[in-house]
Amino acid sequence: MASVEERLVGLFRTLGAGDQATLLAFAEFLSSRSIGLGSTAPAPADTDTAVQERTLPEPEPIPRPESESVVAAVKRLSRTYHMIEKRHMLNETSALVAQHVMQGRDAVEVIDELELVFQRRYEALKSDD
């Protein structure tokens, strides 16, 4: 039986160039997501609550490039809203990325919605502050 890695490489090779790029973008997103969640430092019971007890920093806006991939947008927004615990938005962000990658939803539309997700989460934290 082939290993998971061999199966993935085999499937990758059967795809056209565009689908290979899409699969790679999705894999990069999943990898960046797991890196952000894989911290070995002990986390407080609720990091967002810990942030609320301090003064909530303002977002550090990073200009949106004219041509940006969905994965790059998630990374940009994560840096802009560095004070937000991303695990609280994991379902929403991964669903949006999957809609783009798996269903072909327009990147600009998905990025617009991702920006709203991050902004709403920040505003919720701010109002709780």
- pLDDT value at 121 more than 90: yes
Locate the domains of the chain by residue range: 17-37+47-128
Q: What is the mean pLDDT of residues 22-35?
A: 70
Mean pLDDT over residues 84-108, rounded?
91
pLDDT at 33: 61
- Whether 54 and 47 have beta carbons less than 8 Å apart is answered as no
Confidence of residue 40 (pLDDT cuts 50, 70, 90): very low
Residue 81 pLDDT > 70, yes or no?
A: yes
What is the arithmetic mean of pLDDT over 78-106? 91
What pLDDT does residue 42 have? 40
CA distance 76 to 10: 32
Dihedral angle sign, alpha carbons of residues 74, 75, 79, 82: positive
